[in-house]
C-alpha cells in the first residue's frame, strides 16, 4: 500500500473534485420523469455559457471521439474535402476518422511544435477557387504537444480568403480552461468532452452548433442515427434526450457548471490556468530542459510537454517517478513517443498541487539520472508569488 493520494498529472482525464463525485452519488432518476427536465435544461443552458454561444449545444453519452464523428456526419457528404492542420497526434486521429467516414482530408503538415498556421490555411483556401473544401478542422489545444492554435486568426484567414467552408474546432482539452468564444470567433461546430476542464470522468461529449452548420446538416449526405442533431432537437427543447442519457454524469456536470460559472467564474479559471502554465514552463527552463512547443504565444495553459535530453528515455523517467512518488505523468504519443513527457496542470488544480507536481518531477529527474539543473520548483514558486506582489506592496 502507498500512503497518501495518487497524483494524477496527466493532461486528462483530470482530477474529479470530491463535490462532483458526491453529486454523481445521487440516486439515478427516471430520465422520462418530470423532475429530469430541470437537470437536462440546466446542463444544456449552462454549456451554452461555457462555449460562449447563443446557438444550440448537443450532449452525447460518449467520449470526445464521438463528438468528432458527430461534427462531420451531420454536416458533410461522402467525398467532401476537409482541410485539416497537423498540430499533433489528435489532429492526426481526427484526420483518420474523416478518412474512415469516406471524406477526403487535405492535411497541412506541421512539425508538432506549434499551433495551426493561419497563413498556411489562408493560402490553401485561396487555391481552392471551386470551393471543393467544405470544412476546416482545427484542434484548439493539441494535447500531445501542449500547443494552442489561434482560432480567431484562423477565422480571419478564412474570411480573408472569402471561403465559405465550415469552421470546426476540437476543444476537448481546452474548454473551460482556455478562453474560447464559439460565436465571436465564428466557429460553426465546436467539439468537446467532459474529462478535462469540465472536471468530470470521461463519458460526456458535446457539439456547439452554429446556424450555418444547422443549415449544412439539411443537405449533408453522410449517414447518421445515434449522432443525429435532428434526433436531439425536439427532446432537448424540454430538457430531455432521445435515448438514455448519462444521468449521473449530468448531475456532475451541473455541479461543475456551478463551480465554473457561478463561483470561480470562467475568466478567473482562465487566468488561473495561465499562471500555472507560466510557472510550469519557468520550472522547465530552470531545469535546463526544452518545452516541445517552440512558439511562446502558442504554449498551452493546460499542459506542458517537455523534451528529454538526447539519449534519455521519457518512459523510463515516468516509470521511475510513478514508482518512487506515486505520480502519473503523460507519455509522448506517436511521433514523440519516449522523447517527451507531459505535465498536466488543468481542472481542479491550485498552486500547492502544482508545486507538489513539480517537486515530483524534479525528484524523478534526479532518480532517473536525467541531466538537469536543480531549482525548477523555486523558479515556479517565484512566478506563482507574483500574484501577491501588488497586495504586499499595498500593505
Chain position carrying cell 449530468: 250
Quote the cell numbers at residue 195: 474529462
| Distance separating alpha carbons of residues 288 and 334, to the nearest angstrom | 25
Angle at alpha carbon of residue 40, lines to 138 and 51, rounded to 5°: 25
Task: Give the three cell numbers for residue 275.
Answer: 499562471
| Residue-by-residue DSSP string for 12-34 | SSPPPPHHHHHHHTSPP--TTST
Single out the residue of 67, 68, 69, 94 nearest to residue 83, CA to CA: 94
Element holding 183 (H helix, E strand) = none
CA pair distance 231, 11, nearest whole angstrom: 33
Of the CA atoms within 13 Å of residue 288, those in its CB half-sphere come to: 9
With beta carbons less than 8 A apart as the criterion, state whether 260 and 50 touch. Answer: yes
Q: How far apart are CA 273 and CA 177, in angstroms?
A: 6
Q: How far apart are CA 381 and CA 278, in angstroms?
A: 11
DSSP 254: H
Instruction: Tell me how far CA of residue 39 lies from CA of 92, 117, 174, 242, 307, in angstroms.
Output: 36, 40, 24, 15, 44
| C-alpha–C-alpha distance, residues 11 and 304, integer Å | 9
Structure-block grid coordinates of residue 245: 442519457
32 is in an annotated binding site: no
Q: Count Cβ atoms within 10 A of the Cβ of residue 268 and give its class: 0-12 exposed, 13-18 middle, 19 or more buried.
A: exposed
Helices 266-287 and 376-385 pack at an angle, to 10 degrees, of 150
DSSP label at 169? Answer: E
Residues in the chain: 395
Cα angle value 75/79/80 (rounded, 5°): 45
Q: What residues are designated binding site for substrate?
A: 342
Q: What residues are designated binding site?
A: 342
Amino acid at each position: 500500500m502507498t500512503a497518501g493520494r495518487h497524483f494524477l498529472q496527466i493532461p486528462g482525464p483530470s482530477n474529479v473534485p470530491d463535490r462532483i463525485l458526491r453529486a454523481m452519488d445521487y440516486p439515478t432518476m427516471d430520465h422520462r420523469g418530470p423532475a429530469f427536465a430541470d437537470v437536462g435544461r440546466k446542463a444544456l443552458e449552462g454549456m451554452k455559457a461555457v462555449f460562449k454561444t447563443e446557438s444550440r449545444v448537443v450532449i452525447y453519452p460518449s467520449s470526445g471521439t464521438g463528438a468528432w464523428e458527430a461534427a462531420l456526419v451531420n454536416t458533410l457528404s461522402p467525398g467532401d474535402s476537409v482541410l485539416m492542420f497537423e498540430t499533433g497526434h489528435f489532429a492526426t486521429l481526427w484526420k483518420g476518422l474523416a478518412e474512415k467516414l469516406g471524406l477526403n482530408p487535405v492535411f497541412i503538415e506541421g512539425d508538432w511544435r506549434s499551433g495551426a498556421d493561419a497563413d498556411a490555411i489562408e493560402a490553401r483556401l485561396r487555391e481552392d477557387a471551386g470551393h471543393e473544401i467544405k470544412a476546416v478542422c482545427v484542434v484548439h489545444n493539441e494535447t500531445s504537444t501542449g500547443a494552442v492554435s489561434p482560432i480567431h486568426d484562423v477565422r480571419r484567414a478564412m474570411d480573408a480568403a472569402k471561403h465559405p467552408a465550415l469552421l470546426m474546432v476540437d476543444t476537448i482539452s481546452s474548454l473551460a480552461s482556455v478562453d474560447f468564444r464559439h460565436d465571436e470567433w465564428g466557429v460553426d461546430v465546436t467539439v468537446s468532452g467532459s474529462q478535462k476542464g469540465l472536471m468530470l470522468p470521461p463519458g460526456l461529449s458535446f457539439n456547439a452548433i452554429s446556424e450555418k452548420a444547422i443549415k449544412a446538416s439539411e443537405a449533408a449526405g453522410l449517414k447518421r442515427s445515434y449522432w443525429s442533431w435532428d434526433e436531439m432537437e425536439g427532446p432537448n427543447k424540454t430538457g430531455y434526450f432521445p435515448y438514455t442519457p448519462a444521468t449521473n454524469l449530468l448531475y456532475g456536470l451541473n455541479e461543475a457548471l456551478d463551480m465554473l460559472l457561478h463561483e470561480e467564474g470562467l475568466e478567473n479559471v482562465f487566468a488561473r490556468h495561465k499562471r500555472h502554465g507560466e510557472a510550469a514552463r519557468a520550472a522547465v527552463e530552470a531545469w535546463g530542459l526544452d518545452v516541445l512547443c517552440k512558439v511562446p504565444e502558442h504554449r498551452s495553459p493546460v499542459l506542458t510537454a517537455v523534451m528529454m535530453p538526447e539519449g534519455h528515455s521519457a518512459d523510463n523517467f515516468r516509470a521511475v517517478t510513478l514508482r518512487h512518488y506515486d505520480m502519473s505523468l503523460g507519455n509522448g504519443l506517436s511521433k514523440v513517443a519516449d522523447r517527451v513527457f507531459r505535465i498536466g496542470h488543468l481542472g481542479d488544480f491550485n498552486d500547492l498541487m502544482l508545486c507538489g507536481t513539480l517537486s515530483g518531477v524534479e525528484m524523478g529527474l534526479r532518480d532517473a539520472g536525467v541531466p538537469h539543473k536543480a531549482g525548477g520548483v523555486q523558479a515556479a514558486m517565484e512566478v506563482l508569488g507574483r500574484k501577491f506582489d501588488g497586495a504586499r506592496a499595498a500593505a
